[in-house]
Chains A and B, each alone.
Chain A
Amino acid sequence: MEEKTVNFLKQTFSEYYKQNKSRIAEPSRIHEREFGYWPFDGFMQRHLSVTNFSTFIDELVLKAPKGVYASCSYYDDPSLPMEDKGWNGGDLAFDIDCDDLELKCKQEHDRWLCRDCKKVGTGLRPKACTKCKENKITVLNWSCTICLDAAKEEIIKLNDILMNDFGINKKEISIFFSGNKGYHLTVESSTYEKLDKHERREIVNYVLAKELDLKYMGFDKKTNFKDLLLRLPQSTEPGWRGRLVEFFENYDDSSLTNFSKTEKVARIYNSKNIKFNKLFEDGIKKVRSTIDPLVTSDTSRIFRLPNSLHEKSGLCKTLCNSIDSFDPYTQSVVLDNEPIKININFCPKFTLKGVSYGPYKTQTLSLPKYAGVYLMSNKLAQVA
């Protein structure tokens, strides 16, 4: 990134922290958490302990870092090296990233750029540049409303699992738009804060329905049809048994409409025409929540602070009070609309605050600051 652009972003971030001091809420148990920030010019600073939150914010105004973080874990002394901190537990944390969801729209809006001949291609990255055959390719993982809606659906499923299966109270759950490509969910609950890495791993596998064994869901090839009918769960049963059976009950097959629900499921299972294993996999994908498996079990991570800016978008990490109606491309746009002049390399279409921009080819343009910063943060433009 050009120095001029970096300075502009720094300036913008600093102003944001200055004007929004009160917006940035102090995390609970602040003395027990590790803090960190990442300057635009330098390495990530970690293992900070914060005693006075407002002094910490003052520091952010001064340093204008590109990212600010706090741990979900609680420590005796957060300022010591990882092994010596003395882990005392931590919020349960989940991360959903739309890049992990294998969405079709990526084919349309993702781009790759050849650093050699400057060719820009659409869709997934080829093995080598289609024009000059060199392998010097930069990838642009773009995101759109479809992407973020898909991520939202995953977070809603997660929320449902946490409340119904794990009995977590609504008040203990916070859902955030990450500021770029997905959602974070944290649980502050005394019941679960002590779970260690291994136990968190079991929670992860549960949410992902990973290593789920059909035998324990009531499906068993060895049983005869009559026993199968007895063994299959009801859709009212808790957990995966109920969810999976409900999925099969709703499977659309006109030849099975006359049967009772359970018999329909049993017939799907025994059918010669339906590829059950494929259908089962589809069912799992539909009912599970596609969380990032590494984030939840790694208790040493630090997470972006709510209401801080995301360096890859200039949007802010935002608490979603009502997730169903949350609109990330409006509600997390916090920079002002003062016009700024930028040189654009290229960019796919995007929408902010209900206004669509682009697609743009190489050109110089005046855009509202939040849109300009969005492109510069994505490394698609520089200050003119």
Chain B
Amino acid sequence: MIDILNYIIGEDDKSKYPFLPEVGKQMTGRNIQDFLNSELPILENAKDRIIYSLKNGTSPEFDETIEMKTISKYSFPIAMLLVRSTNQSYLISRFALAESRRVEDILHNENPDVIPQIFKTILNVKLSQSKDINEESNVTSEFLVKNRFKYKISLSDYLSRSISLPKNQWRLVNRSVSSGYVFLTQDELITLLREEIYQMIRSKIEELKIPPALLEDESMKSTLEQILKVAPRPPKAKIQVFSGEYPPCVAKAIEMIQKGDQVPHSGKFLMTTFLLRAGKTVDDVIDMYPTNLGFNQNITRYQVEHIAGLKGGGTKYDVPSCSTMKMKDFCYKTDACGTIKNPLQFNGKTPVKKNGRKNS
């Protein structure tokens, strides 16, 4: 696998996509010390990179010199370690966001031959270049050229991602679909996968284990301090939550969202359905999310409106039951929950109305 990668993704790509698996390999063990002690200003560069990213929400641009390329290739993993060491999810999110924007920019101009391999490696998404297989999907090459469709992705892979994209352009009905594939231009492909690129970079950082020796390193320590001194504070969410007001699972989801933690879909879904049922408006729910975090406020709005039944066909969703939440690993049961079946019953509130099920 690595061999193939090295063949397709050359030296040059390692600095463009520093999160590719084999780049990480070079970072284990004492290598890190080597980088820190290197004559190149790697640590300095990592610090600049972080501060710029946190402040601007995008990554700095570096010169195209060979020396700079080498520096930035190695400074990225160091920057990841530094950001991880701050232990603040808000900073991790900001940095991951900036980094994913940079990657996006590069991908927009990337050679189409390399793109499927990159996505296969980093996100395990199977893509085909549509030019290779137009026969199998019953389309002509004129069709592909005219619409600038360079890729096709399987329908189910498409749906699981497009579902959270708000615009009409992403509805399946407005796409060219043939033989179980959806056709995409290069720009569309990157937009479709951007959230995942962001999440991938973010979890890469979160998963990092920091060697204890590294935290003792004086130069690391002082760099970290300098970063924390100038790092932006997380914005305050507009709605405050009092403990005991919400069932533990909902409170947990709110807390995670406001801290900028990565919240699983089931948690967001629970929080949204719950708050809507508790009489909050769509805008109230959107205000729960701190601003300037994650990708796109529009996506949050779309998702909340979708759950509220204002978008996507008007289905209104019920608050999931305790057993569902347990199954999804998002139940934080305390004694206060007692034997309730649905989070809505917390504190002796409204029993849940049973939904009439139909048969056809």
Contacts and interface: CB of A to CB of B under 8 A. Distances in A.
Interface of A: 36, 38, 44, 46, 67, 69, 82-84, 86, 93, 95, 164-168, 178, 184, 191-192, 194-195, 197-199, 201-206, 209-213, 216-217, 230, 234, 236-241, 292-295, 297-298, 300-304
Interface string B36-62: 000000000000000000000000000
In this complex, the interface size class of chain B, counting residues with CB under 8 Å from chain A, is 35 or more
Contacts of A178: 360
A255 to B, nearest CB: 28
Among A46, A165, A204, the most chain B Cβ lie within 10 Å of the Cβ of: A165
Given A191-B156, A201-B312, A201-B315, A206 B173 contact: yes
A211 B359 contact: no
Contacts of A197: 315
Nearest to A197: B315
Given A199-B159, A202-B171, A205-B313, A239 B177 contact: yes
A300 B171 contact: no
Given A198-B163, A201-B312, A205-B173, A164 B179 contact: yes
A191 B154 contact: yes
A186 B351 CA distance: 36
B2 interface: no
Contacts of A194: 156
A44 B173 contact: no
B180 A167 contact: yes
Among A82, A212, A239, A294, the most chain B Cβ lie within 10 Å of the Cβ of: A239
Provide the main secondary structure of the chain B interface.
Answer: mixed
B169 A205 contact: no
Interface of B: 137-140, 142-143, 146, 154-156, 159-160, 162-163, 168-169, 171-181, 306, 312-313, 315, 320-321, 323-324, 327, 357-360
A195 B327 contact: no
A303 B357 CA distance: 12
Contacts of B358: 294, 298, 301
B156 A192 contact: yes
Given A201-B315, A293-B313, A236 B143 contact: yes
Contacts of B327: 86
Contacts of B177: 165-166, 206, 238-239
B163 A304 contact: no
A238 B174 contact: no
Nearest to A303: B360
A240 to B, nearest CB: 7
Contact of A165 (B140, B168, B178, B323): B178
Nearest to A165: B177
21 contacts: A84-B321, A164-B138, A165-B179, A191-B156, A198-B312, A199-B159, A202-B171, A202-B173, A204-B313, A206-B172, A216-B169, A237-B176, A238-B139, A239-B177, A239-B178, A241-B176, A295-B360, A300-B357, A301-B358, A301-B360, A304-B359
B159 A195 contact: yes
A217 B147 CA distance: 11
Given A83-B323, A236-B143, A238-B139, A297 B173 contact: no
B143 to A, nearest CB: 5
B117 to A, nearest CB: 23
A211 B173 contact: yes
Contacts of A293: 313
Contacts of A164: 138, 178-179
